[in-house]
Amino acid sequence: MINEPVNVLGNDFQQAWLNVVRLLMTNHWELNNVIVHVKDVNAMDLEFHDAMESFANSQELLGPKHVAYTIFPHRLCRGRDAAALFTDYNKRRGLYERVKTSWGTYFRRMTNYKGKDGTVNQLGNIIAAIRDRKRIYKTAYTVVIQHPGGETVRPLGGPCLNYLAIQAEPAQEGQSLTLGLLAVYRNHDFLERAYGNYWGLCNLIRFLAREVEGSPGPLTCVSSHAYVSGNKTALKAFVEGL
């Protein structure tokens, strides 16, 4: 049975992830239509993060940094503006070549999307549009991840993040431009992926806000299907021990 939408709030992405996992624990480890709202994308509890990394290592899972880097390479961003980041990431033997999966990475699709009309830097276009246009639109800025065709009907082996919408709130008196982010996932693994996904998305919106001289707003993430398929006993013990 497909359940009604479930709303989950968290001041930070770590609390949001924890709240969803607790819900999954009481719903046979599977829910549809999970809508998560993270209020403060700058907040991060380092002790919690260290515990997550230790848990991932103990269970031989992908670490949070590895997952987050598929969305935004935050360490590569240090000391680089957007143009330099895009070049260094996508160049031959750049970071993309070291972290790509069978279909690529999310950040590659955001900055080097190969469509029918050629290669498009979607993030670069959005940054330029917000910087250069006289008028800032609230809902004009979107990023497509999947390629139409096979990827839209493939159960496994393709991108699970489908779509991003950058939400802009024009500057008001005494306040700067604010950017929020809406992300839509078709399939969302809360054992190995979701924590790193949330972390990467928070880093992405902070980067975009910096590039347009604005402030980062909230993150909203819709998981069409949220689940945990393995390591359930270990994950339950970890969460209950926090």
Res 218: pLDDT: 97
All domains in the chain, ordered by first residue:
6-240 (3.30.572.10)
Average pLDDT over residues 110-129: 92
Query: What is the C-alpha to C-alpha distance for residues 158 and 223, in angstroms, rounded to an integer?
Result: 16
Average pLDDT, the chain: 91
Lowest mean pLDDT among 56-65, 97-106, 133-142, 145-154: 145-154
Average pLDDT over residues 11-36: 98
Structure confidence at residue 151 as a pLDDT band (50, 70, 90): low
Res 156: pLDDT: 66
101-104: list long-range contacts, CB under 8 Å, 24+ apart.
Answer: 101/70, 102/157, 103/151, 103/157, 103/158, 103/159
Dihedral class, residue 28 (left if φ above 0, else alpha if ψ from -120 to 50, else beta): left
Structure confidence at residue 157 as a pLDDT band (50, 70, 90): low
Q: Which two tokens mark 26?
A: 């009481």
Res 146: pLDDT: 86
Give the pLDDT confidence of 207-229 residue by residue, as tens digits.
Answer: 999 999 999 999 999 999 999 99
Indicate the burial class of 149 (C-beta count within 10 angstroms; 0-12, 13-18, 19 or more).
exposed
Average pLDDT over residues 75-81: 82
Q: By C-alpha distance, which of 224, 220, 226, 223 is closest to 37?
A: 220
Secondary structure of residue 47 in the 3-state scheme: helix
Structure confidence at residue 150 as a pLDDT band (50, 70, 90): low
Highest-scoring range by mean pLDDT, 30-39, 91-100, 113-122, 175-184: 30-39
